[in-house]
Amino acid sequence: IRRVSMRKAEEALVSMCEERARMIQDQFAVSVNHVHALAILISTFHYQKQPSAIDQETFAHYAARTAFERPLLNGVAYAQRVANSERDKFENEQGWIIKTMKRDPSPVQDEYAPVIFSQETVSYIEALDMMSGEEDRENILRARATGKAVLTNPFRLLKSNHLGVVLTFPVYRSGLPPDATVDDRVKATAGYLGGAFDVESLVDNLLRQLAGSQEIMVNVYDVTNISKPLIMYGPQQPDGYMSLSHVSMLDFGDPFRKHHMMCRYSQKP
Ligand code: WA2
Q: Is the CB of 139 under 6 A from ligand 1?
A: yes
ipTM greater than 0.90? yes
130 lines ligand 1 (CB under 6 A): yes
H-run or E-run covering 205: helix 204-208
Instruction: Say if residue 213's pLDDT is above 80.
Output: yes
* Adjacent-strand bridge partners of 171: 191
Distance 29 CA to ligand 1 centre (A): 18
Angle at 126 between CA 71 and CA 132, to 5 degrees: 100
Count of H-run helices and E-run strands, the chain: 6, 12
* Long-range contact set of residues 16-20: C-beta below 8 Å, sequence gap at least 24: 16/210, 16/212, 16/216, 16/263, 17/216, 17/218, 17/246, 17/247, 17/248, 17/261, 17/262, 17/263, 18/248, 19/210, 20/207, 20/210, 20/218, 20/248, 20/261, 20/263
- Which residue minimizes the CA distance to atom 14 of ligand 1? 195
Closest residue by Cα to residue 165 from 177, 148, 150, 143: 150
Q: Which atom of ligand 1 is nearest to the CA of 75?
A: 2
Least confident of 95-99, 121-125, 174-178: 174-178
Please, what is the average pLDDT of the chain?
96
Q: With 80 as the cut, is the pLDDT of residue 259 above it? A: yes
3-state secondary structure of 116: strand
Q: Whose C-alpha lies nearest to ligand 1, atom 7?
A: 195
Q: What's the whole-model pTM score?
A: 0.97
Residue 132 alpha carbon to ligand 1 centre in Å: 11
CA 194 to ligand 1 centroid distance, Å: 7
Mean pLDDT of 169-176: 94
* Residue whose CB lies within 8 A of the most ligand 1 atoms, among 101, 121, 125, for a mutation test: 125
Q: Which amino acid belongs to residue 15?
A: S
- The response to whether residue 158 sits with its C-beta less than 6 Å from ligand 1 reads yes
Nearest atom within ligand 1 for CA of residue 77: 11
- β-strand 73-80 against 115-118: which pairing, if any? antiparallel
- Answer yes or no: is pLDDT of 1 > 70: no
Q: How far is CA 249 from the centre of its chain?
A: 18
